[in-house]
């Protein structure tokens, strides 16, 4: 990674070599299962197309997205491997998804009916994965309605409209090791699998594990693990451990170029509301990113930033486009790099540090970085006939 800041206001450097290494590490932790790299929400803010391609290069058999639009965008970008999307609403693009060879999740009869109607008389056969709510209380078919959904799916298979390729579920508390809901959900999942199999459903893949389950609960791996946050080298929770504990490397480094550095006297108010006042004569540095870039306003007075080799703290409020740090009298030059978070190799804070400082989870810290911040890709696999470093301004 370059030590000198690039001449842009701010950038999120995305280390695709780290991402590929993370996928390799994660595959080794689930040796009997296939791996699905979850690239929803623009790959948790890292850039879906580039990250999907890197994950495939490292052997991800599956990609996963929440919305069908996200899945279709990957097809438009040229991805041809197995791909599942799960967040459907009535009237969704079932026909387009089936034509694009996307596996679609079905959590209720209405969805099975819509996808069946979309392919009826087309000669197409939809690949559907039945989702059971084993206790998360979010999406998925309730255990009471499961027999009805399974029987309807069998009928749709018999009619040649669908093929049930998967049965799956999602954990509520896999990031809290030892939580009693984990075993309870596994029991419900196994019952649901048993029922479906007795009715003649023969899924290719049974899956329930997300990143924390992949990392800590081998008995949950089944045929496929769906891993998102760990692919990006971010820890699912402090209870699970740090990325390094699992040999994972953070993929995103967020930095900005100082836009102003100036001496001010003691007693000088800083930023909206004057919630920070300089305790004495000092140097203030202006970091030109704000909440429109995805910097949480909750970082006001708390967010850590590396400037000139030292950790500083956001002084006063985070504004829409900028915030200030007090350099405590140290000097700096405009254009110097302020590193908000990264792998920590250069002493910078991590996404986990930002999560702790702002009362959220590291997932949100990386995912919310907005499109105003250009992504700069490094470590692209050069076999791919592309330049190794380039900027996506979209």
Q: Which residues between 22 and 41 bind ligand PLP (CB under 6 A)?
A: 38, 40
377 has catalytic annotation: no
Q: Which residues on adjacent β-strands are paired with residue 225?
A: 35, 209
Reported in sequence order, the residue ranges of the chain that DSSP labels E, i.e. its strands, are 10-15, 34-38, 62-65, 82-85, 103-106, 126-131, 162-168, 205-207, 224-227, 252-257, 260-264, 269-270, 276-277, 282-287, 304-307, 310-315, 323-326, 337-341, 375-378, 390-392
190 has catalytic annotation: no
Helix (H, G, I), strand (E, B) or coil at 185: helix
Compute the least distance from the CB of residue 53 to ligand PLP, in Å.
19
Q: How far apart are CA 315 and CA 295, in angstroms?
A: 14
- Total residues found in the chain within this entry: 394
Compute the least distance from the CB of residue 72 to ligand PLP, in Å.
18
User: Is 68 one of the binding residues for ligand PLP (CB under 6 A)?
Assistant: no
Tokens of 245: 């504990």
257 vs 367, which CB is nearer to ligand PLP? 367
Q: For ligand PLP, which residue of 92, 140, 233, 236 counts as binding (CB under 6 A)?
A: 236
337 vs 352, which CB is nearer to ligand PLP? 352
User: Is 82 one of the binding residues for ligand PLP (CB under 6 A)?
Assistant: no
Q: Which residues between 195 and 214 bind ligand PLP (CB under 6 A)?
A: 210-211
Q: How far apart are CA 205 and CA 35, in angstroms?
A: 11
Compute the least distance from the CB of residue 105 to ligand PLP, in Å.
8
Q: For ligand PLP, which residue of 20, 50, 206, 226 counts as binding (CB under 6 A)?
A: 226
Count of residues near ligand PLP by CB under 6 A? 13
Q: For ligand PLP, which residue of 229, 284, 314, 338 counts as binding (CB under 6 A)?
A: 229
Tokens of 309: 């080799």
Q: Is there a contact between 57 and 245 (Cβ–Cβ < 8 Å)?
A: no
Q: How far apart are CA 223 and CA 214, in angstroms?
A: 12
119 vs 366, which CB is nearer to ligand PLP? 366
Binding-site residues for substrate: 138, 320
Give the residues lining the site for ligand PLP (CB under 6 A). 38, 40, 66, 86, 170, 210-211, 226-230, 236
């Amino acid at each position: 990674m370059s030590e000198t800041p690039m001449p842009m206001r701010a950038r999120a450097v995305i280390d695709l070599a780290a991402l590929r290494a993370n996928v390799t590490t994660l595959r080794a932790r689930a040796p009997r299962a296939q791996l699905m790299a979850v690239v929803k929400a623009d790959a948790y803010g890292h850039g879906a197309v580039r990250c999907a391609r890197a994950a495939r290069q490292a052997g991800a058999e599956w990609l996963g997205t929440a919305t069908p639009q996200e899945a279709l965008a990957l097809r438009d970008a040229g991805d041809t491997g197995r791909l599942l999307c799960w967040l459907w609403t009535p009237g969704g693009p079932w026909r387009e998804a089936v034509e694009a060879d996307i596996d679609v999740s079905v959590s209720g009869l209405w969805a099975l009916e819509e996808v069946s109607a979309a392919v009826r008389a087309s000669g197409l056969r939809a690949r559907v994965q039945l989702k059971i709510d084993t206790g998360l209380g979010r999406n998925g078919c309730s255990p009471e309605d499961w027999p009805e959904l399974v029987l309807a799916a069998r009928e749709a298979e018999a009619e040649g409209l669908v093929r049930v390729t998967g049965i799956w579920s999602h954990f509520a508390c896999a990031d809290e090791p030892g939580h009693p809901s984990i075993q309870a959900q596994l029991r419900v999942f196994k019952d649901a699998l048993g029922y479906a199999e007795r009715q003649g459903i023969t899924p290719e893949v049974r899956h329930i594990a997300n990143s924390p389950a992949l990392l800590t609960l081998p008995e949950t791996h089944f045929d496929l693990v769906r891993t998102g946050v760990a692919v990006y080298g971010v820890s699912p929770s402090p209870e699970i451990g740090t990325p390094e504990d699992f040999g994972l490397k953070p993929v995103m480094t967020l930095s900005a170029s100082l836009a102003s550095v100036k001496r001010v006297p003691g007693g000088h108010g800083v930023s909206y509301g004057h919630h920070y006042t300089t305790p004495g004569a000092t140097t203030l540095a202006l970091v030109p990113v704000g909440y429109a870039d995805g910097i949480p306003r909750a970082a006001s007075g708390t967010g850590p930033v590396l400037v000139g080799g030292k950790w500083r703290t956001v002084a006063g409020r985070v504004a829409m486009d900028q915030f200030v740090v007090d350099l405590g009298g140290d000097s700096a030059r405009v254009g110097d790099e302020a590193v908000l978070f990264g792998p920590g190799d250069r002493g910078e804070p991590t996404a986990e540090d930002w999560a702790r400082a702002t009362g959220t989870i590291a997932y949100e810290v990386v995912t919310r970085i907005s499109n105003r911040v250009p992504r700069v890709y490094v470590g692209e696999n050069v076999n791919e006939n592309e330049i190794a470093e380039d900027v996506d301004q979209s």
